[in-house]
A and B are shown apart, each in its own frame.
Chain A
Amino acid sequence: MLCLGSMDALLVDQVMAVYVVVAVAMAILGGIYAYVWRLSAMTGLSQRRLGLGFAGMVVLWLVLAAAAAARVFATVEPVLVLAALAILSIWALIFYFLWELDRTSRT
């Protein structure tokens, strides 16, 4: 799927392993996101905003994939930084929606 041709084999293994960690974290956060979406339908919280958030999540993931595909990395460390940033931003997004859901469910 990704074009990692210019990297040496060890680095490719390391990058792919980080991708597995990101995929696992994204799957967990994505599942939680879907649950928040379902709950939000019951409270009248703007689903448009949730949709935009989800689109943002996909874009982030694509940026990460594109960065690797562009063969910009010579070591695994920048991939770790990007991976952590991607997961952190999704977590912050989910937290925001949980916070909003909490607020709207009280009113």
Chain B
Amino acid sequence: MKFSGVLKLLLLFWLGGVILAAFFYAPADRALGEAGRVIIFHIPVAWVTVLAFLVSCVYGVQFLRRRDLGDDLRAAAAAELGLLFAMLATVTGSIFARITWGSFWNWDPRETSIFILLLIYAAYFALRSAVEDEERRGRLSAVYAIVAFVTVPFLVFVVPRVYFSLHPDIITPTGKLEMGARTLQVFLASLGGFTGLFAWMYQLAVRIGERRQQA
């Protein structure tokens, strides 16, 4: 078996271990009870969203430098995965909101900012579908991906902390993670696992996209 196969099997057991640990190793949260385990899955999804949009921005820059359509494909694949994970972060956050705040949607700063982010990246795909010429589409999309990513740190990290939010924040004002030791271990393992899963899905999306381009 090749090294990449071993890594994929490792991912199977790693995320399997995270699922088990989320229920049997991490204790129930003091404030949120059993529902507190949600953060082990919800936050890594939000993290992958940011990572995917960053990759899209990096390949956007690469496209503008080299004018290689392969870079445009990689930027679009990353933005697509970013949009998927942003939707999942929104849906899972909404489910969590229902049990903690009593309603699925409250237009809280955190919810509003992720909603705006979804619109921004949905527009990226509207733009792509509106331009037929590949080179022009690549150029416009690359510029858009770069500009769109500039908004990500503000919408994900700044806005929800500037305005009052009901959303629990795991980062304290002093910059420390507010979590029990066991929960933190499982949470970090989950972050690593989801990052690995994103890497694999991204690799597949790019490979299949390249095959379609060649066909």
Q: List residues of A whose CB falls within 8 A of some B CB.
A: 13-14, 16-18, 20-21, 23-25, 27-28, 31-32, 35, 39, 42-43, 76, 80-81, 83-84, 87-88, 91-92, 95, 98-99, 101-102, 105-106
Contacts and interface: CB of A to CB of B under 8 A. Distances in A.
Interface residues of B, number: 39
Contacts, number: 100
Interface of B: 8, 11-12, 15-16, 19-20, 22-24, 32-35, 37-38, 41-42, 45, 81, 84-85, 87-88, 91-92, 95-96, 98-99, 197, 200-201, 204-205, 207-208, 211-212
Nearest to A16: B99
A35 B208 CA distance: 13
A24 B205 contact: no
Contacts of A16: 99
Given A23-B95, A35-B201, A105 B208 contact: yes
B19 A17 contact: no
B19 A20 contact: no
18 contacts: A18-B34, A20-B35, A21-B38, A23-B95, A27-B91, A27-B92, A31-B91, A35-B201, A39-B205, A42-B211, A88-B16, A91-B12, A91-B15, A92-B16, A95-B12, A98-B204, A99-B8, A102-B204
B22 to A, nearest CB: 8
A13 B201 CA distance: 36
Interface of B is mostly: helix
Contacts of B211: 42-43, 105
A17 B211 CA distance: 44
Contacts of B11: 95
Interface of A is mostly: helix
A42 B34 contact: no
B129 to A, nearest CB: 16
Given A84-B23, A95-B8, 19 more contacts: A17-B32, A17-B33, A17-B34, A21-B23, A24-B95, A27-B88, A27-B95, A28-B92, A31-B87, A31-B88, A32-B88, A32-B197, A39-B204, A80-B23, A84-B19, A91-B15, A99-B8, A105-B207, A105-B211
